[in-house]
Amino acid sequence: MPEGDTVHRAAAKLAEALTGTVVTRFDIRVPGSATADLRGETVRSVIPRGKHLLERIGGYTLHSHLKMEGRWDVYPVGGRWRRPAYTARAIVGNARWETVGFDLAMVEVLRTDDEDRIVGHLGPDPLADEWDAVEAVRRVSADSRAAHVALLDQRNVAGFGNVYANEMLFVRGIAPTTPASEIDVTALIDLGARMIRANLPRPERTFTGDTRPGRRFWVYGRDGKACRRCGTLIRAGSLGANATSERNVFWCPRCQAG
C-alpha cells in the first residue's frame, strides 16, 4: 500500500532518471491535462510531499498521487512495460529513459507557482529535510478525534497511512478510538518518524524487525490471529472522519485496552 515511504522511493527513482534532462515524451492520459505538452522543457526536480509527487518541468509541475494502487516505473526507451498500457495515466521520457505512472488516482499539470493549491495544506513530513516534529505534535494534540483518524489526516502529519497508523498505535499500546488529544503524542510521533525512516530503504516494510513473509506486522491485516505479544486474538473494525474515508483498523484488545 503506497504511503509516505513509497512515495519518497518513487521520487528518488524518478529524479535519478529525469532530473536535468530534456523531456522528449510527455503524454498525460486523463481529462483536464491531456493536452499539456512539456516536450523540450528541462526537468528541474522531483519532489515528494507526504503522499504527493511533484515533478517540476520548466515552469510547470506534474502532480500525481498514488492513492491505493498507483505506481511509477522506469524503463529504458523502447523497453517492454510490466503493466498493461491501458492502466498508464502519465508518461514522461527523455532520450534514455521512459517513466510511466500506472493506476494513478490523481494526475494534473499546473504552474509550479500554484503548487500551494494542492500541497499547501499538508502537515510536516517526517521524511522531509525540514521535518518539524514540534509542529506535528501540536497539530495531532489539538485533534480531539480518534487517534487513528488524527494520524491519517494529512493536515496533521503528511505521509502516515493506514498501515503506519495501525502499527504505531499497537506499539504504543493505544486503542485506535482513543482521542488523540488524550495520548502521549510526542512519543507516538517520534515512534512513527523512526519507523518510516527505517523502512525507507527497505524493499518491504517491517514493523516487527522480522522481514520474513507473514512476520512483518504486529496487527495490520492479522484479524483473528494471535497477538505476537500476548496471544489474544487481533480484532478488526473500521474508523474514519466520515463514511467515505473509513479505513480498516486492527488492534489487540489486551495490549491496546484503552
Tell me whether residue 51 is one of the annotated catalytic residues.
yes
Q: For the chain, give me the number of helices (H) and strands (E)?
A: 6, 10
* 3 has catalytic annotation: yes
Mutual angle of helices 185-199 and 133-141, in 10-degree steps: 130
Task: Please state, in angstroms and rounded to a whole number, the distance separating the CA atoms of residues 139 and 156.
Answer: 5
Three cell numbers at 80? 517492454
Q: For residue 247, indicate whether it is catalytic.
A: yes
Alpha-carbon span 7 to 122, nearest angstrom: 15
| Rounded Cα gap, residues 209 and 223, in angstroms | 20
Catalytic residue among 2, 48, 126, 176: 2
Helix (H, G, I), strand (E, B) or coil at 6: helix
Catalytic residue from among 9, 51, 56, 216? 51
Active-site residue flag, 2: yes
Q: Collect all residues with Cβ–Cβ distance below 8 Å to 82 and sequence separation of at least 6.
A: 73
Could you give the CA distance from residue 135 to residue 253 in angstroms, rounded to a whole number? 31
Catalytic residue, candidates 139, 216, 222, 247: 247
User: Looking at the DSSP assignment, which residues form a beta bridge with residue 108?
Assistant: 63
Residues recognised as catalytic: 2-3, 51, 247
